[in-house]
Structure formats: C-alpha cells, structure tokens
Amino acid sequence: MSRLARKPTIAGKTEVSVQGGMLTVKGSKGTLTKRVHPSIDITVDAGNVSVAPKDRSRLAKALTGTFAAHVKNMVTGVETPFTKKLILEGVGYRVEVKGKDLVLTVGFSHTVPLAIPEDITATVEKNVIKLESINKESLGQFAANIRRVKPPEPYLGKGIRYEGEVIRRKQGKKAV
C-alpha cells in the first residue's frame, strides 16, 4: 500500500460522502463526484477520509495510492481552485475566447477552435491563457489538449508552453 494512502486525508470544511460506489465531495466552490473502483474501500469518519484495499491483489494495492491522491485533490479543489497558465510565443500567434470556445491562431491556414469544458473558466490576457477549475484532472487534460495544438519547437521556441516550462533549445545550422 502506498505511503500516501496510509495517512488519512483531513476533510476540513468540506463534506465527504461515499454511497453506492460514488465518492462525493462538497465544498464552498462546488461539488465533485467520482466513481470508486470495486477493489477500493473509502471510509469517512470524524472529518478524516481513509483509503484501503478490499483485497490483497496487486491491482487493489496500486489503486489505493491513486484513489488517495484523487481524494486529496478533490478535497483541495473544492476549497481553492487549481490554475494553469499557458503562454503563446510566436509572431502572429493569437488566442481569444469566443463564447464557449477558445480560438487559437497559431500559424496554420485556419483557426483552431477548442470547446471549453463547463467546469473550467478560461481568461486571456495578451498571449497568456489562464485556466481555472476545481477539478484537477479535467483542468490538466484541457491544458494538455491546448498545448497539443502547437507544441513548442526547439529551434525558435515558437508554440504553446506551460508557464515555467523550460524548452531545451537546439543550435541551428552553422555557416561554414
């Protein structure tokens, strides 16, 4: 069993419940639900949430740490939302929010519209996209989908990158 699962997660101001194989976490910012795997047992008592395997299988032991991390992220997210920032670098690269779509102009012959999931709020300032959500999993997936449109290239550094991400630059051709 993982070390993370051995320590109980302290719910604090949040309300955590497990009913019918569904884990529900309610907080000041919203409510999150997640289906619990049948080989995992989640117990809630006196503000502490503990995760334990139901059997001694390898899958149950592996999922114990995974679900402990999910519970911790859910409890944290409903109190303080998670944020990610993406930066566009390149001449003529633009991004704008049109309704429920994020429209990227990143050097293709066409614009690339991406539908913003309902649990994520996106704001754009110059060439910085700021994403915010209580669900860490969907936030990370949407940020990865945005970055996948035009990943940063190693010669000029043009593309979409995370804030704080370091791009290893390559040296171009040398003149003889």
The string of pLDDT tens digits covering residues 108-131 is: 999 999 999 999 999 999 999 999
Identify the pLDDT of residue 174.
Answer: 80
CATH architecture of 3-77: Alpha-Beta Complex (3.90)
- Work out the pLDDT band at 83, boundaries 50, 70, 90: very high
CA distances 75 to 26, 35, 124, Å, are 8, 15, 27
Q: What is the CATH number of domain 82-162?
A: 3.90.930.12
Taking 60 as the threshold, does the pLDDT of residue 76 lie above it? yes
Identify whether the C-beta of residue 24 lies closer than 8 Å to the C-beta of residue 17: yes
- What are the domain boundaries of the chain? 3-77, 82-162
Do the first three CATH levels of 3-77 and 82-162 match, i.e. the same topology?
A: yes
d(CA 53, CA 33): 20
What's the average model confidence in pLDDT over 146-159? 94
Residue 143: what are its φ and ψ, rounded to 5°?
-65, -40
What's the average model confidence in pLDDT over 148-155? 94
Instruction: Name the DSSP class of 165.
Output: P
d(CA 99, CA 118): 12
What's the average model confidence in pLDDT over 42-52? 89
Which residue is associated with the tokens 């989908």? 145
Taking 90 as the threshold, does the pLDDT of residue 23 lie above it? yes
**Torsion angle, CA of 11/26/33/55, rounded to 10 degrees?**
30
